[in-house]
Chains A and B, each alone.
Chain A
Amino acid sequence: MAPPTPSSHRPRKKRKIAISPGSNNNLILDLGEGKQSPAFPLVSFLWAARAGVSQWLILPLVLMAVGLFRWAVSLWGYSGFQVPPMHGDFEAQRHWMEITTHLPLAKWYIYDLQYWGLDYPPLTAYHSWLFGKIGSAFDPTWFALDASRGFEDPRLKVYMRATVVVSEYFVFIPAVVNFLRRYTRMQDVHAWSASIALVAVLLQPANILIDHGHFQYNTVMLGLVVASLDAILAGRMLWACIFFVGALGFKQMALYYAPVMFAYLLGVCTFPRINIPRLISIAFITLAAFALLLAPLMVGASNTEARKAFAASSVPPLLQALPIQLDKNSVTYGLLFQLTQIIHRVFPFARGLFEDKVANAWCAIHTFYKLTRFDATLLQRASIGATLTSIIVPCAIIFRHPRASLLLPALSAVAWGFFLFSFQVHEKSVLLPLLPMTLLLAGNGGLSKETRAWVGWANVLGSWTMYPLLKRDELRVPYIVMTLLWAYLLGLPPTSFETYRTRPSLEDSNANFEPSTLTTLLHFGFYLAMLAWHILEAFVPPPPGKPDLWVVLNALIGAAGFGIAYMWCMWKLYTQCRQISRQATEEESQKKKQ
């Protein structure tokens, strides 16, 4: 990392002892007469910790508190509860535990695909296998092959909920804790401020509602991504590759981050001078990680039993498209079948541009101008083109300036680009851009009014766009509670307007850290729209003939907001990049003077 220079507005390392704990985030308000008050409620909850209480006390307390909220949310409904015949995501995950524990590896990706066939990458399959085995030790009927379909015992629910919490506490939480520790140290942020950011990140409503309410294991994938970022900050590029392959291998959605990671790693090998050995080792490690990931499945596909199973199943289109002819009894055929089948299952190219009402560009355009009139391939090309256009700039920046401090805004910008323009986007995918954006809270000035307002607004908007989904799962109350709680803790509307008010703070108020009038107007417009939408949705039935009107309206407002969030991340990336290059030139000129 570039050492901060004297002219930088950042507080220097030397001053660290002298600065007050909340300084670079304006956490402490000056009420005059020597009285101080916390800037927002979350600060007051950690108020007693500002004088340097041991992390050994704060961290367990924080982890217990956020764990309690997770568990409390998990008491509520989940996706597909009492909705036969297909149920929902809960049943899908349970079903995967069922098939992975009972079937040979060769059958994992071909078994009865009509009923929640496995369509996540291998790591999810292994994860399901592990928890399926453990769960079967408690009660084998939970995961009995075929017989357990649609099983809804309350004890099974507790077990499944526990697997989500355990997975999160083994992957996501250690990753976030370590990442934030390193990141805040790098950005010269006080440990107290870092603890506050940690609570804010861990209470992110969208993550909790989807994983512990709706039921999914997104935090495992997100945790692996954060672990990868942590490894980058630590300068361990090879570990970063391994963790990122792990994330991709757990959930293909991690691809949203892949361009930035790729550009960054390539950039690291190119600037300031081309470093071929590094490039080779990165490439090798990545391939090795993928190989390791697939190895058990490949071994499982190499015996004759497996080939018999493959012969009975339809040939994956990708294999059909291969120009070579293979003997159906050769080992190579089995391996290729397995590999192409996994790829076919994990990347469903055959599906449409968008599935449900999602707050992205395509759905928004479709509302006014029906896209179904176009050919599917044309739409796919348009979508790829638009996505590429939206991500090319951040990727280029990160390639030219491979700085770890630029990663978070770049990752969020690219993930927003994917969310808005790629096809087959799910409303839950909003978690991906939200995570790096929320991690910005830990940075220098991250808890200042400006960043807090933007990150908070994006998070509230993000969970709001998922409301139609959460409503289906009977998660209205947790949605209201968790979103309002987060807004309350961070001092955001609708609970408080403090963030948008200018107040004298303890330090010299930096104009950059206050939200501008435009920001205020924009945010208030969106908060008002969300509130009005909730009132509409709750009390006014949609006009006959247009039963989905409110949902479409939700998606439209959401898409507009996410577009703005994308631009904000781009702007943030741009300014941070400018700042860094300015520092670099100043450094150089100083060296010349000396």
Chain B
Amino acid sequence: MADLYPSLAQCAIVAAAFKVLLFPAYKSTDFEVHRNWLAITHSLPIQEWYYEKTSEWTLDYPPFFAAFEWLMSQAAAYADPAMLVVKNLGYDSWQTVYFQRATVILTELVLVYALSRFIKSVPLPNRQAAHVASLSILLSPGLLIIDHIHFQYNGFMYGLLVLSIVLARKQSTLLYSGILFAVLLCMKHIYLYLALAYFVYLLRTYCLSLKSVFRPRFGNIFKLGFCVVGVFAIAFGPFAQWGQLMQLKDRLFPFSRGLCHAYWAPNIWAMYSFADRALISVAPRLGLPVNTDALNSVTRGLVGDTSFAVLPEVTKEQTFILTFLFQLVPLVKVWFNPGCWDTFVGAITLCGYASFLFGWHVHEKAILLIIIPFSLIALKDRRYFSAFRPLAVAGHVSLFPLLFTAADFPLKTIYTVMWLVLFLFVFDRVAPVPERPRIFLFDRLSLLYLTISIPLIIYCSLGHHLIFGWDRLEFLPLMFMSSYCALGVVGSWVGFMVVYFTS
């Protein structure tokens, strides 16, 4: 029997020690966002939660998350009641910081629990791989950077997601998986990106007979329908009752934002912007018209509308259609392989990819939507792993611009490098040889890709400032970084598509 040391609990303890030490580290505006939500949910009646706008960081997560904040605010009252005052904008006494940071660490226990369930759900021969994958998720630099430094509650919510995915493994717990995912949707609507995969999988595997598409299982349909509708009714019912649904819609889906987010999440549109930028100098020679307005306004790392100088504009509708199409492709396989859990997880991953790569106003934090489900199956065999490798590098490196203070630089780089060295090495040892031979020449390319990252990080974090100073061409490092990372994410997407459809 394989040795499963260090155990999840041991890693969680040491990681928690490290995270506690990060209490005084840089925290983004998300810290104030969540403090404000604590204050809103604690001091206002529910009817006013989605109308309150004293702070610019209005409540824009679904009701269950608001309820979660309300729950935490009950404890927060003992830590420091002043943080629960709506008017105390930007309040960050040490009690507030300790309290909020501690809640992130504590709620992450859900993830630890989900991962331990995941390990137990795996048949014995593969358990070591599952253990390693779980550790990689638990110690993920993504969660460390986003949750414990930048500040959010992803560890908790990805814990629910992993738990729901694990529950989907067995026919007997499939219903709970669906319910849990509905709950998750009512906590953070970003998971809508994965909803299509759940829908198809549950429909085919739970609602229809495994043997024939034409034999619906009415009992299951009723149970699942009742429960999911019930969850949504609990979450949104009261607001519908008060006639606030339109307000909620406006809060949850603010469509006034631009195509690319502040730091250019590494997706297709980052590459598109990069191409546009590169074409500006070439366009006159090719006789292409250049939109002069856009020349000055091409995002300099600012939130707002991106306009392109040479290439055609991209509309919201186009991004939706692209996202939807690329989500549908992998779902075909889910439909024809009912009850195949690996395919389901692969489909979730690919849905994450599609929405990340083609979505409108994608945030770089959404990369976890791909990495975490992918980690669960990355060790299926070496082909999966070689598709995972560039994603692991690009996805985590793309998070670096989230932290920009000098004190964070060693934290984010050394932690990420350590994680990459450790887990890429261990994965390489643990991943079994595939049944079919590998078909692509991806390996050499991904090695080249990995090596490029080192000079690039050095250039972007230090070299650029030495060459150009602190305020000239400041968008350039970000653009290089996101284009580089976009290449990695797209590369791993193509690679994984191939693996997914050929296995």
Contacts and interface: CB of A to CB of B under 8 A. Distances in A.
Given A75-B22, A484-B17, A47 B5 contact: yes
B9 to A, nearest CB: 10
Interface in A71-102: 71-73, 75-76
Contacts of A76: 21, 24
Given A44-B10, A154-B407, A68 B414 contact: yes
B147 to A, nearest CB: 15
Interface in B1-25: 1, 3, 5-7, 10, 13-14, 17-18, 20-25
Contacts of B24: 75-76
Interface stretch (B223-231, B300-308, B419-427, B449-457): B419-427
A137 to B, nearest CB: 11
> For A35, A71, A73, which residue has the most chain B Cβ atoms within 10 angstroms?
A71
A521 interface: no
Majority SS at the chain A contact face: helix
Q: Which 6 A-B pairs have the closest CB atoms?
A: A72-B21, A47-B5, A44-B5, A64-B418, A44-B6, A158-B406
Contact of B425 (A44, A57, A478): A57
Contacts of B17: 481-482, 484-485, 488
Contacts of A57: 421, 425
Interface residues of B, number: 29
A477 B20 contact: yes
Nearest to A162: B410
27 contacts: A35-B1, A41-B6, A44-B10, A45-B5, A45-B10, A48-B426, A57-B425, A61-B418, A64-B414, A67-B410, A68-B411, A68-B418, A69-B21, A71-B414, A72-B18, A72-B21, A72-B22, A72-B411, A73-B21, A75-B22, A75-B24, A75-B25, A76-B24, A154-B407, A158-B407, A165-B410, A484-B17
Contact of A68 (B20, B405, B415, B425): B415
Contacts of B3: 36, 47-48
A481 B5 contact: no
Contacts of B411: 68, 71-72
B22 A67 contact: no
Contacts of B415: 64, 68
Given A36-B3, A72-B18, A65 B407 contact: no
Contacts of B418: 61, 64-65, 68
Majority SS at the chain B contact face: helix
Contacts of A154: 405, 407
A36 B1 CA distance: 10
B417 interface: yes
Contacts of B25: 72, 75
A353 to B, nearest CB: 37
A154 to B, nearest CB: 7
Interface in A485-516: 485, 488-489
Contact of A61 (B407, B410, B422): B422
Contact of B7 (A44, A69, A73, A162): A44
Taking residues whose C-beta sits less than 8 angstroms from the other chain, chain A's interface range is 35 or more
Given A68-B418, A72-B25, 20 more contacts: A37-B5, A41-B10, A44-B10, A57-B421, A57-B425, A61-B422, A64-B414, A64-B415, A64-B417, A67-B410, A68-B18, A72-B21, A76-B21, A157-B407, A158-B406, A165-B410, A477-B20, A477-B21, A477-B23, A482-B17
Contact of A67 (B5, B23, B414): B414
A290 B5 CA distance: 50
A415 B14 CA distance: 32
A192 B149 CA distance: 34
Nearest to B418: A64
Given A38-B5, A75-B24, A69 B13 contact: no
Contacts of A481: 17, 20-21
Interface in A3-61: 35-38, 41, 43-45, 47-48, 57, 60-61
A484 B14 CA distance: 10
Contacts of A582: none
Interface of B: 1, 3, 5-7, 10, 13-14, 17-18, 20-25, 405-407, 410-411, 414-415, 417-418, 421-422, 425-426
Nearest to B13: A488
B102 to A, nearest CB: 11
Nearest to B144: A68
Nearest to B10: A41
B336 to A, nearest CB: 39
A479 to B, nearest CB: 11
Interface in A543-585: none
A161 B421 CA distance: 26
Nearest to B1: A35
A435 to B, nearest CB: 23
Contacts of A45: 5-6, 10, 14
A69 B411 CA distance: 9
A155 B421 contact: no
A158 B422 CA distance: 27
Contacts of B426: 48
A72 B144 CA distance: 13
A68 B414 CA distance: 7
A450 B1 CA distance: 31
Contacts of A38: 5
A400 to B, nearest CB: 45
A37 B5 CA distance: 8
Contacts of A482: 17, 21
A31 B21 CA distance: 35
B217 to A, nearest CB: 44
Interface in A351-406: none
Contacts of A43: 5
Nearest to B94: A474
A48 B421 CA distance: 15
A47 B6 CA distance: 7
B421 A60 contact: yes
Nearest to B411: A71
A554 to B, nearest CB: 24
B18 A69 contact: yes
A75 B421 contact: no
Contact of B421 (A41, A47, A61, A72): A61
A180 to B, nearest CB: 21
B346 to A, nearest CB: 28
B122 to A, nearest CB: 18
A165 B414 CA distance: 13
Contacts of A36: 3
> For A35, A36, A61, which residue has the most chain B Cβ atoms within 10 angstroms?
A61
Contact of B5 (A48, A68, A485): A48
Contacts of A484: 17
Nearest to A38: B5
Contacts of A65: 418
A35 B425 CA distance: 26
Nearest to A75: B24
B134 to A, nearest CB: 15
Contacts of B410: 67-68, 71, 162, 165
Contacts of B22: 72, 75
Contacts of B405: 154
Nearest to B3: A47
Contacts of A485: 14, 17
B109 to A, nearest CB: 17
Interface string A226-250: 0000000000000000000000000
A57 B422 CA distance: 8
Nearest to B26: A75
Contacts of A69: 18, 21
A43 B6 CA distance: 8
Contacts of B421: 57, 60-61, 64
A193 B51 CA distance: 61
Contacts of B406: 155, 158
Contacts of B1: 35
Contacts of A158: 406-407
Contacts of B417: 64
A536 to B, nearest CB: 23
